[in-house]
Chains A and B, each alone.
Chain A
Amino acid sequence: MTAWTSIGAIAGLTVVSVVTRGFFIIPDREVPIPGWLREALRYAPLAALVAVIVPEIAMTDGHLVGTWKDARLYAATAGVLVFVTTRSLLGTILAGTAVLLALHLGLNW
């Protein structure tokens, strides 16, 4: 891919970002959104987050992890424990990363 094609690709990807994030707010006229859909939207970000993190934590190469010697499982558990007890996102990140690094570098998990 030449530099100019790459620039064209990046320009198009920028348009994709704008169009997808602004999709339903592009028209000036009122967009009729049914009541049930408005209620259902409450669950959309939660579901998107879950769908992103499940494979990151519990899957390897498209399969559920088959071993207990996977540092991610313990890092995620530590993160959840810290969040439940402290409600601190920063603490969650730090505790989980500490556990991950310790198991990665210490036990080679």
Chain B
Amino acid sequence: MSSSTPLWRHPEFATGARETRDVALGIGAWGLVAGVAMSKAGLGAALAIAMSLCVFAGSAQLAALPLMVQGAPLWVIWATAFCVNLRFIIFSAGWRPYLRSLPRAQRLFVAYFTVDFTYIAFMRRFPQPGDVRAQLAYLAGNIVVSWIAWQAMTILGVVLADVIPERWGLGFAGTLALLGITASLLVDRATWTAAAVAACAAFAAFALPFHLNIVVAIAAAMAVGVIIDHFAPPRPAAAASEDAA
């Protein structure tokens, strides 16, 4: 293992960066909208930019913002963000086998930067844990591009908040990016069924506070997915054919 060469020289760094570049427009559009929203919430440009740079979690930031502006107790603000971020706790169980050879501080440092798309792209690239160096290089490439796209556009959104008309509906570009990623994950009957169940659950549980409908949807889809995996005949080719398509 050549741990002396820097991660960014590893070929997997370029792969991670290239795959993220394709969704950077969506990430950036969402960052722009988040920046505009943060600025309009009345937090002030300096704090809004500091929040984006430190917290690096769009939906949690947007959920916490109105509470901060209203002067809600700190624990309410933090609990809200925690609930909005619950899905990351589920993802972190998936990270464990890949990162366990690293010291704790490094594990947490890497995990902090892993947003939803990082998890999805990484798990597609490395379905099984393997060469740690290659995995870290891929992660670094992915994270650098998504971090820069998100932060640059958020700051731009904060600065240009009064110039960008809401009517343009630019935030929808982020939704479209997620839509495309979702479509790419629908590879067999089990994933289609799980997605349909998740959609119904998310809709039915929409009235729950703190975006908890996302957690309900994850739980329902995981349950249905496991049931299908155990009671339907396996179709080994389905998952592997994704890259060739």
Measured CB to CB, the residues of A under 8 A from B are 1, 3, 5-26, 28, 30-31, 33, 36-57, 59, 62, 64, 71-72, 75-76, 79-80, 83-84, 87-90, 92-94, 96-97, 100-101, 104-105
Contacts and interface: CB of A to CB of B under 8 A. Distances in A.
Contacts, number: 275
Contacts of A56: 172, 175
B81 A16 contact: yes
Interface residues of B, number: 93
Interface stretch (B7-15, B134-142, B149-157, B194-202): B194-202
Which 5 A-B residue pairings sit nearest by Cβ, starting from the closest? A47-B221, A51-B202, A51-B217, A22-B111, A43-B225
A46 B198 contact: yes
Interface of B is mostly: helix
Given A1-B69, A43-B221, A49-B181, 15 more contacts: A17-B55, A18-B108, A20-B82, A22-B112, A40-B225, A43-B222, A47-B197, A47-B221, A48-B90, A49-B116, A50-B195, A54-B203, A55-B206, A72-B172, A87-B184
A48 B18 CA distance: 24
19 contacts: A3-B47, A9-B68, A14-B55, A16-B55, A25-B104, A40-B223, A40-B225, A41-B90, A41-B91, A44-B94, A45-B91, A46-B198, A50-B198, A50-B221, A53-B179, A83-B183, A92-B177, A93-B176, A97-B172
